[in-house]
Structure 1
Amino acid sequence: MVVRLSRYRLLTLLCGVLAALTLTGPAVAAPVSTTTTTTVDRPSAAAGWLARQLVDGERFETVFDGVAYPDQGLTLDAVLAFAAAGVADDSGARALAWVSRPDVRDGYLGDGVTEAYAGATAKLALAVQVRGADPTSVGGVDLIARLRGLQAPSGRFTDRSAWGDYSNTFSQSFALLALARTPAGVPADAAGYLAGVRCADGGFPVVPEQPVCASDVDATALAVQALKAAGRSAEAGAGLRWLVSVQGTDGGFRNSGGVANANSTGLAAQALAAGGRTLAWARARGFLASLQVCCTGAPADRGAVDYDGGTFDPATATRATAQAVLGLAGVGYAQLTAAGAVPGAPELVCP
């Protein structure tokens, strides 16, 4: 059981931002918030639907081998989505409080001694910062110090675990985004490491230092934002140009399997908006809007964003919606803030 749980935490860390992940649907409970509003704003409607899917109004869960596990990574995606849409602030507060609980937090980050995961540490630190709290004091843990302690001499942020190092481009990018918000800023060698793993075509791979460098939409979208936050505009610009070059005629972005989907498009759209590629962002936003369940859909599904536009699948809709909100809102991770967000889970207004 210890082995399975440790591997599961790594799976969650690595796949929390991957677009192609297909999961068994999370359990759903009635929302805690009693605030009900209606909206015609697409990001707000999507975030409102997402808030109503939280288990006990505070978390997401994933079924793995028939067992329900807490999904801290997806829960943090929701926290960031609520901030991007500027709604469900009460849900965002409860969700972050849940992830920050010592037992839940350590099950995600590791205990900091025998296990410590760079990507999870950075992602939680970023969410704490987005919500205006102090990442150096999260339940008695200094996330920034722990993150810096995971930086290798090469500049790469690595995992410390008996199961090996599963760090990747997502880990590195989230680390840069979190550290960019600190007084000390991003270490030059950390930014240099990420810039150095860029493929010849301008994109970025999921896993660096491989014999063949294969650019990936999701990894590139995150790396572009991280490099821009670190002041590496040339490398960020190359990544943006690669993203534009692989955008589909429908405005969508495809995963490594060739499927245009909300997850990849949501991340790419966010990067394009933050990088000033307005027309490409507008096209990506249009694709995301085409996947959103509107008034012709079942009332319980309205506002959600489907993964690929086929038959609505709740097993993938929560993650798809969380990442689509960022693209619909067009707010980059570096600029994201929950300041001014309002409580409540808005519902899509229909005749």
Structure 2
Amino acid sequence: MVVRLSRHRLLALFCGVLAALTLATPAIATPTQVGAVRSDAAAGWLARQLVDGERFEAVFGGVAYPDQGLTLDAVFAFAAGGVAEDFGARALAWVTRPDVRDGYLGDGVTEAYAGATAKLALAVAVRGGDSTDMGGVDLIARLRSLQSPGGRFTDRSAWGDFSNAFSQSFAILALDRTAHGVPAAAAGWLAGTRCPDGGFPLLPAQPVCVSDVDATAIAVQALRAAGRRADAAAGLRWLVSVQRADGGFTNADGVANANSTGLAAQALRDGGRSLAWARARVFLAGLQIGCAGPVADRGAVDFDGGLFDSSTATRATAQALLGLTGTGYARLSTTTATTGAPTLPCH
């Protein structure tokens, strides 16, 4: 049982916000967005999908495992949408529960994951909490302990190092909210991974540097937060150069989808590329289930516009919300958020 849980934790950490799970049989329904996009309805739909109103789960081999990463994506999405404040509070309370937290972060001694630690620290800060004392755990101190002299944040685990552009970027975004700020070496290391075309790879030090939309989207936000505007600008130019005519962005498999487009749109708006953001937003709006769709699906954002699949729509909706509102990770806050799970107004 311990081995299976560890493998799941590593898989969830590596996938993080990168990919949507495709585990359930698709229902027969297609995106039928009508009228203006409703980010509040998207957040409301996402909130109603939480198990017991507090968490998401991943199912492997018929067994449900906690999905802390996706649950934190929902926390960010609710903050971006400015609604479902009560759901966001319960979701973060669940992730920070000691058994759930340690199953995600590791024990901090023999096992510690940089990306998970940084993502949780950022979520706590977004919701106005204290990342230095989360149930007796100083997330910031633990995160800093995972930084190498060269500036890279890496995992400490017998299972290997799964750190990547998301780990580094979330670490920078989390530390940017602390009194000591971002270590120059950390921002410098991330900037140094940039590919010749201006984009950023998911994994560094590969034989061929291949820019990735998702990795570039979060890297430019982290670099902007750290004051590395020129490095971020190169990444933003690359994002604009690979945007499709319909406003969408493709993943590594070449599929235009809500996840990659949502992250890219967030980065574009945060980086001042308003026209490109508006085009991406139109693409995302076209994937939202509108009033012609089944009542239970209304407000959700479909992964790629094919047959609607709720198992992929949860992550797609969470990441699409970031792009629909355009609020960057560095500016997310729940200060003015309201409670409740809004529904799509249909007459």
TM-score (norm 2): 0.96
SS at match of 2:58: strand
Residue 293 (str. 1) matches residue 254 (str. 2): no
What residue in structure 1 maps to residue 32 of structure 2?
Answer: none
What residue in structure 2 maps to residue 30 of structure 1?
Answer: none
Q: Give, as a single letter, the amino acid of the residue that structure 1 aligns with 2:120.
A: L
Distance apart, 1:103 and its partner CA:
0.2
Moved more, 61-70 or 303-312: 61-70
What residue in structure 2 maps to residue 168 of structure 1?
Answer: 164
Q: Deviations over 1:278-314 (max 9, x none)?
A: 0000000000000000001000000000000011111
CA distance in 2, matches of 1:3, 1:213: 33
SS at match of 1:156: coil
Residue 111 (str. 1) matches residue 107 (str. 2): yes
CA distance in 2, matches of 1:183, 1:67: 42
Q: How big is the alpha-carbon RMSD for the aligned residues of Structure 1 and Structure 2?
A: 1.3
CA distance in 2, matches of 1:166, 1:14: 6
Identical aligned pairs, as a percentage? 76
What residue in structure 2 maps to residue 126 of structure 1?
Answer: 122
User: Which of 69, 74, 78 does residue 65 from structure 2 map onto?
Assistant: 69
Distance apart, 1:111 and its partner CA:
0.6
CA distance in 1, matches of 2:233, 2:163: 24
Q: Give, as a single letter, the amino acid of the residue that structure 1 aligns with 2:322.
A: L
CA distance in 2, matches of 1:211, 1:41: 42
Q: Which runs of 4+ in 1 moved over 3 A?
A: none
Q: Any conservation in 1 of the 2:37–2:285 contact (CA below 8 Å)?
A: no
Q: Any conservation in 1 of the 2:39–2:324 contact (CA below 8 Å)?
A: yes
What residue in structure 2 maps to residue 24 of structure 1?
Answer: 23
Q: Any conservation in 2 of the 1:23–1:63 contact (CA below 8 Å)?
A: no
TM-score (norm 1): 0.95
Distance apart, 1:40 and its partner CA:
7.0
Distance apart, 1:67 and its partner CA:
1.1
Q: Deviations over 1:240-270 (max 9, x none)?
A: 0000000000000001111000000000000
Gaps of 5+ in 1: 27-38
Q: Any conservation in 2 of the 1:25–1:62 contact (CA below 8 Å)?
A: no
User: Which of 73, 78, 96 does residue 74 from structure 2 map onto?
Assistant: 78
What residue in structure 2 maps to residue 159 of structure 1?
Answer: 155
Q: Give, as a single letter, the amino acid of the residue that structure 2 aligns with 1:273.
A: R
Q: Any conservation in 2 of the 1:252–1:265 contact (CA below 8 Å)?
A: yes
User: Which of 142, 148, 159 does residue 146 from structure 1 map onto?
Assistant: 142
SS at match of 2:286: helix
What residue in structure 1 maps to residue 224 of structure 2?
Answer: 228
What residue in structure 2 maps to residue 29 of structure 1?
Answer: none
Distance apart, 1:6 and its partner CA:
1.2
CA distance in 2, matches of 1:233, 1:188: 14
Residue 330 (str. 1) matches residue 329 (str. 2): no
Number of residue-to-residue matches in the alignment: 338
